Amino acid sequence: MNKKLKYGLLYAGLTIFLFIVLMPYIWLILTSFKTRVDAFAIPPKIFFKGTLSNYYEAFITKGMLHNLINSIIVMIATVVISMILGLPSAYAFSRFPSRGDRLLSNYLLGTRFTPVVVLALPLYLMMSRMGLLNTYVGIIIAHVAFNLPFVVWMMRGFYDAIPKEIDEAARVDGLGWFHIFLSIDTPLARSGVAATAVFCAINSWNEFLMALILTGRNTTTMPVAIPGLLTPQGTIWGQISAVGTVITIPVLVFAILVQKHMISGMTMGAVK
């Protein structure tokens, strides 16, 4: 009985806690389905007649669809490039320990912990000189710059988890290291690859500062485009909520899919 009461209290406590925590977010999602009148109603309406007009207004009329496509292009390119470049290096850290490793990993660490603004300034000036401002190439380079160290750090742990005996067996069969890396160990680490890719995608998708500085009219990603809805004529909260919902929902779905590997990725393997 006592134990039941204890668990009851725990569940109740956790539920209330999560409810309070998630309330602003739930409110955002609800607002995105409200008409202008309902959004500002006092007392706030919990039950209302839902509408998709905010989504239509924001994405079709205001052209946010274009920004959505920009975000997708930048995200996919960032993930693909970062993975192609980063996987071999992560593999080498795991499989071929050598004397330069310490230096290399400090080098990586330096780039990993550099605040975005520190890279934003030189990249802005260099890209303006090279004519890369307001191009996809510019923003993709910037996103690769801080995702690449991350890929190497995260994947290194996943490669470490694959037994080395497998490589030895393949070596005996006369396979080259590149072949083993590409067609044996990487497929074996596929859940790690998926988690890393998802993580990269989220980093790029949610990124604001670089995109704010390096993109222009044609290449603006979604996070940068939202503040454009904060107009002097009044803020269109319904549409902002609609865009906010569209930004967050795919991320949540993916995050929950690779949940298991998320934590180890976020602490760069320090916590397993």
Partner 1 sequence: MKRKKKLSDNSSLALRFHLPTFITLTFVALIPLIYTLRLSFYDFKLSEAGSANRFVGLANYIRLFRDPDFYNSVSKTFIFMFFAVLFEVIIGILLALALNAIPKVKKLFTSLTLIPMMVAPLVIGLMYSFYINPQFGLYTWLVDTLRLPLPTNLTGDSFHSMIIVVIMDIWEWAPYMGLVFLAGLQSIDAQCYEAAKVDGASNTQIFWSVTLPLMRPVITVAVLLRAMETFKEFDKPYILTGGGPGNATEVIDLYTYRQAFVQFKFSYAAAICIILFIVLFLCGMVYQRVAMQGDD
Helix ranges (H only) for the chain are 2-32, 36-39, 53-56, 64-95, 101-113, 116-130, 136-160, 164-172, 177-180, 186-188, 190-206, 209-214, 222-225, 237-257, 259-266
136-139's contacts with Cβ under 8 Å and 24+ in sequence apart are: 136/70, 136/73, 136/74, 136/77, 136/219, 138/214, 138/215, 138/219, 139/74, 139/210, 139/211, 139/214, 139/215, 139/219, 139/221
- In the block, tokens 């080498």 appear at 92
Q: Which of 21, 69, 76, 161 binds partner 1 (CB under 8 A)?
A: 21
Under rule CB under 8 A, residue 232 binds partner 1: no
Supply the minimum distance, in Å, between the C-beta of residue 49 and partner 1: 19
CB of 175 to partner 1, least distance (A): 14
Cβ closest to partner 1, residue 51 vs residue 105: 105
Q: Tell me 46's DSSP state.
A: S
The residues in 208-227 that bind partner 1, with binding defined as CB under 8 A, are 208-209, 213, 223, 226-227
Distance CA 165, CA 3 (A): 48
Q: Does 259 bind partner 1 (CB under 8 A)?
A: yes
Considering only 56, 61, 113, 179, the residue that binds partner 1 (CB under 8 A) is 113
The answer to whether 12 contacts partner 1 (rule: CB under 8 A) is no
- Of 72-111, binders to partner 1 (CB under 8 A) are 84-86, 88-89, 91-92, 96-101, 104-111
Binding piece for partner 1, criterion CB under 8 A, among 48-56, 62-70, 112-120, 184-192: 112-120
Phi, psi of 197 (to 5 degrees): -60, -45
Q: Smallest gap, in angstroms, from Cβ of residue 246 to partner 1?
A: 10
Provide the minimum distance between the beta carbon of 130 and partner 1 in the complex, in angstroms, as a whole number.
Answer: 12
Per-residue DSSP letter, 183: I
Residue numbers 155-214 binding partner 1 by CB under 8 A: 177, 181, 202, 205-206, 208-209, 213
* Nearest distance in Å: CB 193, partner 1: 16
Give Cα 55 to chain centroid, integer Å: 23
| Cα–Cα distance measured from residue 200 to residue 198, given in angstroms and rounded to the nearest whole number | 5
- Site for partner 1 contains 17 (CB under 8 A): yes
Instruction: Name residues contacting partner 1, limited to 24-63 (CB under 8 A).
Output: 24-25, 27-28, 31, 39-40, 42-44
Binding to partner 1 (CB under 8 A) within 114-143 occurs at 114-126, 141-142
Q: How many CB atoms lie within 10 A of CB 106?
A: 9
Of 78, 225, 222, which Cα lies nearest the Cα of 137?
78
- Rounded to a whole number of angstroms, the minimum distance from the CB of residue 224 to partner 1 is 8
Closest to 228 measured CA to CA, from 246, 214, 243, 210: 243
Among 64, 74, 83, 152, binds partner 1 (CB under 8 A): 152
Task: Note whether 224 and 236 are within 8 A (CB).
Answer: no
Residue 234 interacts with partner 1 (CB under 8 A)? Answer: no
| Size of interface with partner 1, in residues (CB under 8 A) | 95
